[in-house]
Amino acid sequence: MSVMPDRPHMLTEEFEELAYMARNRMEGLRLEFIDGRLRSKALPDGDHGMIIQWLTRIFMQHRTELWLHPGQGLKVQAHRAGRVIPDAALAHADAFVGQGEWCEPDPVLMAVEVASWDSDIDVRVRHEKPRAYAETGIPVYLLVDRHKCEVLVYSEPDGQRYETVRTVPYGKDIHLSDPVGITLHTEPLKDWVR
């Protein structure tokens, strides 16, 4: 089934209802809605969880006013019609208080994705999500790519794409641009690959 850019699979409200039913009736099924298309997101494995834990500890040490919110649903893209679940969203600890399952992205300083082993990973985390996050204005997108054993930092969103993308192999340091403003020492990531 082909999807016309101006004709999404469904309306955002229909997606939210479907995502709610899927989450409550089919344990572990997480759905996203990007570019008007329905996507499923794989459950994280143990190494994936360890990478998020590692990042959380780094931010607890260096940016104590912030928290790495795991799995927080965000409204993205033009008119906030898309819905994504980044593996984590860096924002102030109370940034999403009082909001529902799909939060406004304005407080997010950085979206984080840890590439899992699902079949559509290349399309989703390397193409669709960077564009969705850039269109939304999220300042930094961090991708920990377990397939290629590298870390990518996307920054300087221009409303359509990120103007800067830096890539390093596991083991090298990489700076997370402002407003995040810390350097990651990626050597530990070598322990969490297949």
Is 36 a member of any domain?
A: no
Is 28 a member of any domain?
A: no
Cβ 130 vs Cβ 155: under 8 Å: no
Which pLDDT value is given to residue 132? Answer: 95
Which pLDDT value is given to residue 63? Answer: 92
Question: pLDDT of the chain along its 194 residues, tens only?
Answer: 344 455 566 788 888 887 777 776 766 678 888 888 878 877 788 899 999 999 999 999 999 999 999 989 999 987 888 999 999 999 999 999 999 889 999 999 999 999 876 666 667 788 899 999 999 999 999 999 998 999 999 999 999 999 999 999 999 999 999 999 999 999 999 999 87
What is the extent of the structural domain holding 70?
Answer: 45-192
Which pLDDT value is given to residue 172? Answer: 98
Please list, in sequence order, all residues whose beta carbon lies within 8 angstroms of the beta carbon of residue 99, skipping any fewer than 6 positions away.
Answer: none
Is 22 a member of any domain?
A: no
Q: What's the structural domain count of the chain?
A: 1
**Quick one: CA dihedral 156, 85, 189, 50, positive or negative?**
positive
Is 7 a member of any domain?
A: no
Is 78 a member of any domain?
A: yes
Query: What whole-number distance in Å separates Cα of residue 130 and Cα of residue 124?
Result: 9
What CATH number is given to the structural domain containing 183? Answer: 3.90.1570.10
Residues in the chain: 194
- The secondary structure of 103-170 as a DSSP string is E-STT-SEEEEE--S-TTHHHIIIIIHHHHHHHHT-SEEEEEETTTTEEEEEEEE-SSSEEEEEEEET
Which pLDDT value is given to residue 190? Answer: 95
The residue type of 165 is V
Is 35 a member of any domain?
A: no
Which pLDDT value is given to residue 4? Answer: 45
Is 11 a member of any domain?
A: no
Is 58 a member of any domain?
A: yes
